[in-house]
Amino acid sequence: MKPVIGITSSYLDERTLQTSYDNVDSIVKAGGIPLVFPNITKVEDIDTYVSQFDGLLVTGGGDIDPTLFKEEPHQKLGLIHPNRDEFETILIRKCMEQDKAILAICRGCQILNIACGGDMYQDIYSQIDKRLLQHSQQAPRSHASHYINVSKGSLLHKITDLSSYKVNSYHHQANREMAANLKVSARASDQVIEAIEGTDHSFVVGVQWHPECMTGTEDLPSVKLFTAFIEASKKGLTKTKLDE
């Protein structure tokens, strides 16, 4: 039985939801069944959502409301969607309570940390007082533009068997202080956080780049990451469905 993977969606405008087919295709290719969700905020309805999937893919998108981590909006803050922030925060917390596998991408990596109690830079270029890499690359989305350094012993290191490799990059925000139940598993050469993971969950991984845009080119670390996510989701399926 294939695991069902819940996929979060972003707003194209105030009334239109969207998700890239790269997200859908990467799940299908790795052996999962994608199920895209709109952003709702009634807790009881979110409980119903969570009961319908085995793993959660938290996708990329726009900026995040800084009042969630008790900051005022920075001048460089971009477009936010409070309903999405609220929905994903509740969804992530409920999945972690049930130890469901989570893969969080770019914006998803940030909302994962915030949902757990961490915070973030609203704009790395104006809030980090040092020269940074180009984190919003001027290149095709499938192009790997800069290196990351992976912490040995981390889940990401175990998945990829690599201590350094290249990733793509499309962000101006990034995680700053980590939540208590999360840890950093990779950084760029300028020390910007590139990957995080749960410390007391079976599979909770957040990456700052977009591996879903690279699976189509058979980028091995990206393929391995999605494969590991689907395998972790199967374990949840075994416990929650096959035994019923």
Q: What is the CA radius of gyration of the chain?
A: 17
DSSP SS3 for 209: coil
Find where tokens 């780049």 sit.
209
CA distance 154 to 183: 9
CA distance 73 to 50: 31
DSSP 6: E
CB 109 within 8 A of CB 184: no
CB 35 within 8 A of CB 91: no
Q: Which of 115, 4, 104, 15 lies closest to 61, judged by CA?
A: 104
Classify residue 233 by burial, with Cβ atoms within 10 Å: 0-12, 13-18, 19+.
buried
Report strand pairing: 4-8 vs 55-58. Answer: parallel
CA distance 110 to 60: 9
All residues at 6 or more sequence positions from 77 whose CB lies less than 8 Å from its CB, including other chains = 63, 66, 122, 123
Paired tokens of 116: 């757990």
DSSP 76: T
Catalytic residues: 106, 210, 212
